[in-house]
Chain A
């Protein structure tokens, strides 16, 4: 039972264009969402997060949007750069004793072409 799903295994984008990575979740108890970026032979690194009390969070070229009614979040990267090519994971955490445990999606491989 995959509680966090990234239905696109891969995404290919031209340099300078927008990359949009999507993530859906089923557990309505999740209240904190994160995006991680992973390069080969490295561990995931934190990119951006959003609390369920917000619907948008920006950090430079990265913006995360949260639609709670649809249980959907998306990561926008504008403009995309070749160095953004990596695997992107969305993750979710719940409150209380669940806080700190992350449930991850399957990942989306982003390729940004020069």
Chain B
């Protein structure tokens, strides 16, 4: 099983619909993140959580919300999807490991299309 699992892998939804993207991890990491990737823009941070009780906005949080249900689960919701939210979404976890160096593990991504 993958260390960071995202569901669904692909989703097409209509404008105005509410949609949830789910992420679960088996790494045991406290820190979890949601990024979106757009062509020519790289990955941009939407929300992040450094532990279960800690939720923080990233650089592009408008139109999104998150829920950290447990250490292993971090969900991203689009309350009312719009076409410019069409993108590839990545969940990630991080820790610093024994070397003290930052280590990220990404999921395989969710391709979301809003029509």
Task: Report A's interface with B, CB cutoff 8 A.
Answer: 4, 6, 9, 32, 34, 36, 41-46, 49, 51, 89, 91, 93, 99-107
Contact = CB atoms under 8 A, between A and B. Distances in A.
Interface in B91-111: 92, 94, 101-104, 106-109
- Name the interface size band of chain B: 20 to 34
B43 interface: yes
Given A49-B101, A101-B45, A101-B48, A44 B106 contact: yes
Contacts of A89: 42-43
A108 B106 CA distance: 19
A36 B92 CA distance: 13
Given A42-B108, A49-B101, 12 more contacts: A9-B40, A34-B104, A36-B104, A42-B109, A44-B43, A44-B106, A89-B42, A89-B43, A100-B102, A101-B58, A102-B45, A106-B41
A45 B90 CA distance: 12
Contacts of A4: 42
Given A9-B40, A89-B42, A43 B101 contact: no
A46 B104 contact: yes
B73 interface: no
B42 A102 contact: no
A43 B94 contact: no
> Which 7 pairs of residues, A with B, have the shortest CB-CB distance?
A43-B106, A104-B42, A104-B43, A106-B42, A44-B106, A43-B108, A43-B107
Contacts of B4: 43
A4 B31 CA distance: 22
24 contacts: A9-B40, A32-B101, A36-B104, A41-B109, A42-B109, A43-B4, A43-B90, A44-B106, A46-B103, A46-B104, A49-B102, A51-B101, A89-B42, A89-B43, A93-B102, A99-B102, A100-B50, A101-B33, A101-B58, A102-B33, A102-B43, A104-B43, A106-B40, A106-B41
